[in-house]
Chains A and B, each alone.
Chain A
Amino acid sequence: MIRLSLRDLWSRKLRTVLTVLAIVLGVAMISGTYVITDQINNGFRTIFAKAAVGTDVDITHKAAFSGGDLYASGGSLPAATLTSVRAVSGVADAAGIVQGSGAVVLNGKPVATGGAPTLVYSAAPFRFSQSKYIAGAPPARSGAVAINAKLATDKHLKVGDTIGLATAQGVQKVVISGVFDFGDSTSIGGATIVQTTVADAQRWYDLEGQYSSIAVAAEPGVTPDTLARRLKAALPAYAEVKTSAQSVADSTKAVSDAIGNVLRTILLAFGGVAVIVGAFIIFNAFSITVAQRIREFAMLRSLGATRRQVLASVIGEAGALGVVASLLGIAAGMGIAKAINALFKAVGADIPTSGIALAPRTIVISLVVGIGVALVAALAPALRATRVPPVAALHEGATLPPSVVSRYAAVIAAVAALVGVGVLAAGMFVHGSTSARLAEMGLGAVLIFVAVAMVAKHVVRPLASVIGWPAAKLAGSSGRLARENATRNPARTAATAAALMIGLAVVVFVAVFAQGFKTSFVSAVDRSVNAAIVVSGQSGGTVPAAALATVRAVPGVEQAAGIYAATAQIDGGSTASVIGVDPVSFGPLWRFHWLKGGSDALLARLAGDKAIVEEQFAAKYGLSRGKSFMALGQTGSRQRFTVIGEYRDPTLLTGFTVAQSAFEQLVPSTQRDPLYVIAATSADPAQTKAAVATALKAFPTATVQTKAEYTAGLKKQVDQLLTLIYALLAVSVVISVFGIVNTLVLSVYERTREIGMLRAIGTTRRQMRRIVRYESVITSIIGGILGTVLGVAFAYVVSSRLASQGITFSVPWGQLVVFLVVAGFVGVIAAVLPARRAARVNILEAIHYE
């Protein structure tokens, strides 16, 4: 029976190829996701491991709490710690390292890193340094720096060149003393690494008399574990002592959790969409072939084949497809991983990667997904095949007995829809871990898709007559026949359209949601910011603290204030944002939405242990005026704040807001740069902006924009992200194209005789092609309409849920029209091959065709 299945597959080559492709792409997305995220995690591990070469134990300042910012740490160690370390027995050598962050500045412009870090650290003695100098030497005197080889190559820099380095003290003019190789150049992405002397780094990053970390080497015969234990005992409690192996693992995990694993979840979601679309196509392809092979099954049954054998033959076919498709998918996944990386680079995110990283886990998951989806999708058609009675062999045009499923289709669809809505609601409203809730919402959405696909056949006819109307008007008979063809087998058309529906529903959901996000964010900025000029840092970073005074001094600037943000642990539990402002200068530049009778008068009282809190924060911790809460900052300082007022601002000043002085108690000095500096002008905003920009030349990482430019930039960023998401979703749309092609090819094949007749009585080839093309477009637009409706509905539900977080529901009508046009275009593309086949039907053979 298996041989029969394989023979059968071979005899329907084109359809087999199309069906296989539908699975291949989905599997490729999944395996590609694992490959790229493994590569990213690997890339970071490589960087950390290289940095740890020669170090046995690593000492840092313990973080007061975990969570919050990825790069937030507990501050620095006093220089005296180094002396204590050296005194511990078993320590062969120890070096204090100062680390900071600062862009390399060339010709007054910071070098873009595409989101990768701009590391600055003091050069360590040779035994702790993994750096291999390929030119020059490590910095030995003040004002000398060494740079990584990739930066030197990319920017054509050599030893002796003078470059700028952005520091907390403004841009420093430094001379390149050496170029070092930091391992595999691709593995660090776009990161720039600058080594300085310890003294320079301490001065430039306000760390005089302090070290960011201390690297320790053990004497021979002393294991890192032993040494770490001794150091722990000898040092104060705030010192975090880790073996370098542990340190590498922890750092890798922290970065993986923040980048690789987050990315993996997101990409897997898109892969999941592609797989589900593929499942619909397999289901449809098998349903059609089973219907076509009724006589074959009946003949086999009449020859004595059991139902089990018929089932095995269809399932065997699906399994064979699944195996081939999974293997191809794994191979294609390597390409997808490359493509995703290229896509990130294209939108300016150069993430470190390393190795090819086809982990055994990736292969297993891909096989399970590919084969599993083929088997599950083919199960229902296979069960139908077993219901063919042997007597059907004698009837021409015997049809399948209606399946149990179809009899209770309405009930099953209703149950699936109800369960889907229930699970979706559970994911949205019941508390739990974020990933569990997302999984619930995803499962709910899938169930709803299945339910809609099951009932979609009932709307095919009305939709087709509406969509087909212009076709019939414009193209006459071709349009009419196409419309009739599309509604001939509503279930098949519905299932074909459903594949496109899913992809489009997700696209529309994302578009509508993003529109709401944009609208709410931009309107929040418009509403709250009462200043003409916004100064922000490079790629979401901070503005150097010294820039504020510079801005204030610019003629035409009436008032300027910094907005400082960090993370604090509240009441010993979860973390929240803490905002620091200077009430006097900030007050006039911000329009608070006061609640419960508050007013700007409250700002005058915002000092010391007083806090104003955002509505959500108040609700979460059960706060109201007069009540207090405990905040723990990364300095390790614990402060009790009393609530004096409440405001509503779910997008910008979330968490709680305190006076700058209180903020500085909580936040280490290295993290005290403002996130934004905003300024009101007394003169023409455009001219003042130009003046501010000139004044900030010394701070090249600071971007000066008018408020309108700033919001436009935000919109652009969201749009860029959207482009990325659309590119990922395009895979699902491509898969649904295969589905439409498959269905059309089968339909053309089934209708060979009709096509022959139509051609005989004078239908031209062009008309024939047009009939197929219109049928395809009608099918794809049905999918487009269903997808749009579902996508908008999902977005509405999710937006309403997030309304309290400031997300509004706003429909981008223009874009929806574009999506529908794209859906129509998908139909045109899908029809090319089937239409050509229909036009080439040999009339004579066709009219004698059984």
Chain B
Amino acid sequence: MSDVREQGLEIVPEACERPRAVGEGGDAVVMARDLTRRYGSGDAAVDALRGISIDLARGRFTAIMGPSGSGKSTLMHVMAGLDEPTSGTVRIDGVEITTLKERQLTQLRRDKVGFIFQTFNLLPMLTARENLVLPLTIAGRKSDDAWLDTLVRAVDLGDRLDHRPSELSGGQQQRVAIARALVSRPAVIFADEPTGNLDSKTGDEVLGLLRRSADEFGQTIVMVTHDARAATVADRIVFLQDGRIELDCGHMSRDEIYDTIKSLEATSERGGGGSAR
């Protein structure tokens, strides 16, 4: 791989390809086209996204990686309907979300999108079980008992299911958060650094659960992370740099990911950042 470093990204890692023009998207759950996002205005303006198009296929587990400031979080927020793009469009499950009104957007998030946050964000006054079914409660829907049983088994909390979050470990809390994201069978789950606050062992448990969600339940998952170890569970890894997709890769090992990151960093230094391009 040494030649990759020397020649920058003229040599693309085996599992990867350059981002290419995307078409109609086919079975894509999320289709983003020409996304830009500019914060502020005038001299102080910052371009977080500089034209990103991506399709996320149903049932696939995608990791979005990139150094700080590469725009990975912004991309996730825009695709999830939490932030508005400056230009470009996003479709979730066939619905164009950039033109939706606040209320419709909230309903879309409720019905089609699941979230997993870095800080587990469980409601402290509810038990683990109550937190798990919270999206259904908010939507005023009945829970599907069989599905709930499946999730409860997957979360593997045993008798702690009726305990409050403060009585659970970080890993346990994050597993509840994952189940909460799964419970409404959303079209896509967005996970923002889900292992960021965990040690490696509990992080692995959490990643295992995410992986199984994709494998066993066919759940589409998008995970933003800067942790190479976490990205290894993904089917696809998208590398961002300066608000653009730099590489679009399949499954990679940890070493491959490290090397890719390093080579990207080198390119970035040599290129003097995005503004030079």
Residue ranges of A at the interface with B (Cβ–Cβ < 8 Å): 476-477, 480-481, 484-485, 487-488, 753-754, 757-765, 767, 843-844, 847
- Minimum CB–CB distance for A254 against chain B, Å: 63
Whether A487 contacts B125 by the Cβ 8 Å rule is: yes
Contact assessment for B111 and A843 in the assembled complex, using a CB-CB cutoff below 8 Å: no
Contact flag A476-B107 (CB < 8 Å), given A484-B123, A761-B115, A847-B121: no
Establish whether residues A761 and B125, one from each chain, have CB atoms under 8 Å apart when the complex forms.
no
A residues less than 8 Å from B119 (CB atoms): 753
- How close is A123's CB to chain B, nearest CB, in angstroms? 80
Report, nearest first, the 10 A-B pairs whose CB atoms are least far apart. Answer: A762-B110, A477-B137, A484-B125, A757-B121, A762-B109, A764-B106, A477-B138, A488-B125, A476-B140, A760-B115
Known contacts A761-B109, A765-B102: A477-B121 contact under CB 8 Å:
no
When distances are taken between beta carbons in the complex, the residues of chain B under 8 Å from A763 are 106, 110, 138
In the complex, what's the smallest C-beta–C-beta distance from A758 to chain B, in angstroms?
Answer: 7
Measured CB to CB, the closest approach of chain A to B181, in angstroms, equals: 8
A759 to B137, CA, bound (A): 13
Q: Can you list 25 A-B contacts with CB-CB less than 8 angstroms, sorted by A residue number?
A: A476-B137, A477-B134, A481-B123, A484-B123, A485-B125, A487-B125, A753-B119, A757-B115, A758-B123, A758-B134, A758-B138, A760-B80, A760-B115, A761-B114, A761-B134, A761-B135, A761-B180, A761-B181, A762-B106, A762-B139, A764-B103, A764-B106, A765-B102, A844-B83, A847-B121
- Whether the Cβ atoms of A760 and B82 lie closer than 8 Å is yes
Q: Specify which of A476, A754, A843 is in contact with B82 (CB 8 Å cutoff).
A: A843
Residues in B neighbouring A480, C-beta threshold 8 A:
137
Given contacts A477-B138, A762-B111, 17 further A-B contacts (CB under 8 A): A484-B126, A753-B119, A753-B121, A754-B121, A757-B123, A758-B123, A758-B134, A758-B138, A760-B109, A761-B109, A761-B135, A761-B181, A762-B107, A763-B110, A764-B110, A844-B77, A844-B83
B89 CB, nearest partner CB in chain A, Å: 20
Chain B's nearest CB lies how many Å from the CB of A755? 10
Q: Which residue of A lies closest to B181 (CB)?
A: A761
Q: How distant is the Cα of A834 from the Cα of B231 in the complex, in angstroms? A: 41
CA distance in complex: A762, B180 (Å): 12
Cβ-closest chain B residue relative to A475: B140
CA distance A487 to B107 in the complex (A): 28
Cβ–Cβ < 8 Å partners of B80 in chain A: 760
Whole-angstrom distance between the Cβ of B146 and the nearest chain A Cβ: 22
**For the complex, what is the distance from the CA of A488 to the CA of B124, rounded to whole Å?**
9
Contacts of A759 in B (CB 8 A): 106
Please give, as numbers and ranges, the residues of chain B lying within 8 Å of A753 by CB-CB distance: 119, 121
A residues in contact with B110, CB < 8 Å: 761-764
- What separation, in Å, do the CA atoms of A761 and B80 have in the docked complex? 10
A335 to B162, CA, bound (A): 56
Shortest Cβ distance from A764 into chain B, in angstroms?
5
Nearest neighbor of B180 in chain A, beta-carbon distance: A761
Number of B positions contacting A (CB below 8 A): 30
Q: Which residues of B contact A (CB under 8 A)?
A: 77, 80, 82-83, 102-103, 106-107, 109-111, 113-115, 117, 119, 121, 123-126, 134-135, 137-140, 180-181, 192
Question: Are A764 and B107 closer than 8 Å at their CB atoms?
Answer: yes
Report yes or no: A761 in contact with B138, Cβ–Cβ below 8 A: yes
Tell me which residues across on chain A come within 8 A of B192, comparing CB atoms: 847
Docked Cα-Cα span, A767 to B102, in Å, equals 13
A484 and B139 CA atoms in complex are apart in Å by 18
Known: A477-B140, A480-B137, A844-B83. A757 touches B117 (CB 8 A): yes
Query: Given that A484-B125, A754-B123, A844-B83 are contacting pairs, would A762 and B138 also be in contact in the complex, using a CB cutoff of 8 Å?
Result: yes
Of B117, B124, B139, which contacts A847 at CB under 8 A?
B117
| A-side contacts of B134, CB under 8 Å | 477, 758, 761
Q: Which residues of A contact B82 (CB under 8 A)?
A: 760, 843-844
Q: How far is the CA of A651 from the CA of B123 in the complex (A)?
A: 61
CA distance A765 to B105 in the complex (A): 11
Complex-state Cα separation, A579 to B113, whole angstroms: 86
Residue from the set B80, B82, B113, B138 with the largest chain A CB neighbour count within 10 Å? B138
A464 to chain B, nearest CB (A): 11
> Shortest Cβ distance from B43 into chain A, in angstroms?
23
CA distance A561 to B92 in the complex (A): 93
Q: What is the distance, in angstroms, from B109's C-beta to the closest C-beta of chain A?
A: 5
Query: What residues on B are CB-neighbors of A767 within 8 Å?
Result: 138
CB-nearest residue of chain B to A753 = B121
Q: B114's closest neighbor in chain A, by CB?
A: A761
The answer on a CB contact under 8 Å between B121 and A762 is no
Distance (Å) between the CB of A749 and the closest chain B CB? 16
Q: Are B117 and A765 in contact (CB under 8 A)?
A: no
Q: Which residues of B contact A484 (CB under 8 A)?
A: 123, 125-126
Which residues of B have CB within 8 Å of A757?
115, 117, 121, 123
Complex alpha-carbon distance, A320 and B139, angstroms: 47
Q: How far is the CB of A479 from chain B (nearest CB, A)?
A: 10
Residue of B nearest to A397 (CB): B166
| Chain A residue contacts of B181, Cβ below 8 A | 761
CA distance A763 to B105 in the complex (A): 11
Given contacts A477-B137, A760-B115, contact A765 B106 (CB under 8 A): yes
Chain A residue nearest to B134 in the complex (CB): A761
- Distance between A307 CB and nearest chain B CB, rounded to angstroms: 29
Q: Cα distance A764–B110 when bound, in Å?
A: 9
CB distance from A756 to the nearest CB of B (A): 8
Cα–Cα, bound, A476→B136 (Å) = 11
User: What is the chain B residue whose CB lies nearest that of A849?
Assistant: B119
Question: Which residue of B has the minimal Cβ distance to A771?
Answer: B138
Q: Which residues of A contact B111 (CB under 8 A)?
A: 762
**What residues of chain A lie closer than 8 Å to B180, measured between beta carbons?**
761
Q: How far does the alpha carbon of A759 sit from the alpha carbon of B110 in the complex, in Å?
A: 9
Cα A35 to Cα B115 in complex, Å, equals 61
Q: Which residues of A contact B102 (CB under 8 A)?
A: 765
Residue of B nearest to A760 (CB): B115
Question: Are B139 and A765 interface neighbours, CB within 8 A?
Answer: no
Chain B residues in 8 Å Cβ range of A760:
80, 82, 109, 115, 117
Please measure, in the bound complex, the distance between the C-alpha atom of A759 and the C-alpha atom of B108, giving whole angstroms. 12
User: Inside 8 A of A765's CB, which chain B residues have their CB?
Assistant: 102-103, 106
Interchain CA distance A716-B113 in the complex, whole Å: 63
Query: Which chain A positions have C-beta within 8 A of B83?
Result: 844
Max chain A C-beta neighbours (<10 A), residue from B80, B82, B113:
B82
Measured CB to CB, the nearest residue on chain B to A754 is: B123
CB distance from A750 to the nearest CB of B (A): 11
Tell me, in angstroms, the Cα distance from A763 to B124 when the chains sit together: 17
Give the docked Cα–Cα distance between A284 and B119 (Å). Answer: 29
A768–chain B nearest beta-carbon distance, Å: 10
Residues of A within 8 A of B106 (CB): 759, 762-765
Q: Report Cα–Cα, A759/B77, bound state, in Å.
A: 13
B177–chain A nearest beta-carbon distance, Å: 9
Q: Which residue on B lies nearest to A481, using beta carbons?
A: B123
Instruction: Give complex CA distance A758, B124 in Å.
Output: 13
Q: Return chain B residues, CB-CB under 8 Å to A481.
A: 123
Nearest-neighbour CB distance to chain A for B114, whole angstroms, equals: 8
A487, A757, A760, A764 — most chain B CB neighbours (10 Å) = A760
Enumerate chain A residues within 8 angstroms of B123, measured Cβ to Cβ.
481, 484, 754, 757-758
Q: Give the chain B neighbours of A488 by CB distance below 8 A.
A: 124-125
- Nearest Cβ in chain A — how far from B37, in angstroms? 12
CB neighbours (8 Å) of B124 from chain A are 488
Q: Roughly how many angstroms separate A484 CA and B77 CA in the complex, as a whole number? A: 29
Residue of B nearest to A756 (CB): B121
Specify which chain B residues have a CB less than 8 angstroms from the CB of A764 in the assembled complex: 103, 106-107, 110
Q: How far is the CB of A108 from chain B (nearest CB, A)?
A: 68
Bound CA span A690–B119, Å: 83
Q: Which residues of B contact A762 (CB under 8 A)?
A: 106-107, 109-111, 113, 135, 138-139
Q: What CA separation (Å) do A763 and B123 show in the bound complex? A: 14
CB distance from B115 to the nearest CB of A (A): 5
Q: A477, A488, A762, A844 — which one has the most chain B CB atoms within 10 A of its CB? A: A762
Chain B CB within 10 Å — which of A477, A485, A753, A761 has the most? A761
For A758, what are the chain B residues with a Cβ–Cβ distance below 8 Å? 123, 134, 138
A95 to B: closest C-beta gap in Å: 83
